[in-house]
Amino acid sequence: MKDSLYEIDEPRGQWLYAGEKWKENPLTRIYDKLVGNDMENFEAALALALKPQAKYLTDTELQLYARGKKIRPMMLLLSSRLFLGDGELTDKVAKACASLEMLHVATLIHDDIIDDALLRRGLMSVNAKRGTNTAILVGDMQFVQAIRTFVDAIDTQSEMGLVKVVLDTAFNICAGELDELETDPNWSYEALRQRYFEVIERKTAIMFGMACETGMSLAKAGKTETRRIGFYGRRVGRAFQIMDDLFDFLQDEKDSGKQVGVDLIKRRATLPIIYAMEELGAEHSVSRIMRGEIPAPIDLSDEIDAIMSTQAIERSYADARHEALDALEYLKHFKKNAYRDALEEIAMYTVDRKI
């Protein structure tokens, strides 16, 4: 396919480029054996959806798209096929995948602006490369084009409800970001944990749920099946976010693509930090940094070592694994087939990713 977003001959090459690490996980096999053609159709739809923005996008934004794992579009496709089987998917499914990926990239750009992050996926972030003002507008453009692309995919009255689902998801993502910013580390540990789960539900889990619900709905599944697969997706999303917060301490900058310990620097009350604060006590530097009593040092090694010495990592991982296992329960109501197996593998891959 010559008309490629990334100016290479075959979209499959994008997956080979990003795929070296994927040899360790099931995503490559799922791509090769189950949804390879569907994913190529999605990539083509994404290229078309980004064409109107071509004059405003640089290699920084294109690499942001190219380096993603595309796990949300993959889950949308698998959810469609879980109900539909091996039949041909309509073009609207590929467009929905493209819309979902643009919505996700928009949140990444805005996250980096809020965090003043310099790195994203191992490269300079959009705000670091192009400045905050431009990054805000580019991020907004992804949001708007995501909605436009989704609306273009809808061609029946019965599917109009999906537009509201996408709009509600975008609203909840913004609300989750605001809730996270307004979280006060001086709250009780119980209140912090409650707020944390509320935030990840709105900021992350809801998009995973929307991916699965949209895929099944576009396959003409009933409301019961659609709701059930959405519950699966949300549990996977919760597990994904908890693990992402764990990687802030467990992966180095080269692997994670962002600064180690950035959540502590930004005083972001993630689950491992909340558990560590509770165990280390109010007078430890970790707790004092989080409360704003002392600035975060340039060298965070002592604080990270302290967090690692507690049960915070194990407790957070246990919570993530609980969510992943809970996700599997919602799949048991669907017919056993290769697509259900793939969704089960993705749920467990979320918590079994190499640390």
* Residues 261, 250: Cα–Cα separation, whole Å: 9
Question: Residue 136 contacts by C-beta under 8 Å, 6 or more apart in sequence?
Answer: 110, 113
Q: Can you give the pLDDT at residue 257?
A: 53
- Read off the tokens for 43: 């990539």
Quick one: DSSP state of residue 274? H
Cβ–Cβ under 8 Å, residues 42 and 77: yes
pLDDT tens for the chain, residues 1 to 355 = 333 333 323 333 333 333 344 345 788 899 999 999 999 999 999 999 999 999 999 999 998 998 888 999 999 999 999 999 998 899 999 999 999 999 999 999 988 888 887 877 778 888 999 999 999 999 999 999 999 998 887 776 667 778 888 889 889 999 999 999 999 999 999 999 999 999 999 999 999 999 999 999 999 999 999 999 999 999 999 999 999 999 988 876 655 555 678 899 989 999 999 999 999 999 999 999 999 999 999 899 999 999 999 999 999 999 999 999 999 999 999 999 999 999 999 999 999 876 5
Q: Can you give the pLDDT at residue 59?
A: 92
Q: Can you give the pLDDT at residue 258?
A: 58
* Residues 95, 27: Cα–Cα separation, whole Å: 21
Q: Can you give the pLDDT at residue 159?
A: 72
Q: Can you give the pLDDT at residue 160?
A: 74
Q: Residue 120: beta bridge partners?
A: 123
Q: Can you give the pLDDT at residue 155?
A: 73
Q: Can you give the pLDDT at residue 4?
A: 37
Question: Residue 262 contacts by C-beta under 8 Å, 6 or more apart in sequence?
Answer: 115, 117, 248, 268
Question: Residue 180 contacts by C-beta under 8 Å, 6 or more apart in sequence?
Answer: 199, 203, 268
* Residues 284, 188: Cα–Cα separation, whole Å: 16
129-132, Cβ contacts within 8 angstroms, sequence gap of 24 or more: 129/58, 129/60, 130/58, 130/60
Q: Please tell me the pTM assigned to this model.
A: 0.89
For domain 12-352, which CATH number applies: 1.10.1520.10, 1.10.600.10, 3.40.630.30, 3.60.21.10? 1.10.600.10
Q: Residue 123: beta bridge partners?
A: 120
Q: Can you give the pLDDT at residue 89?
A: 92
* Residues 100, 324: Cα–Cα separation, whole Å: 22
The gap between the terminal CA atoms of the chain, to the nearest Å, is 36
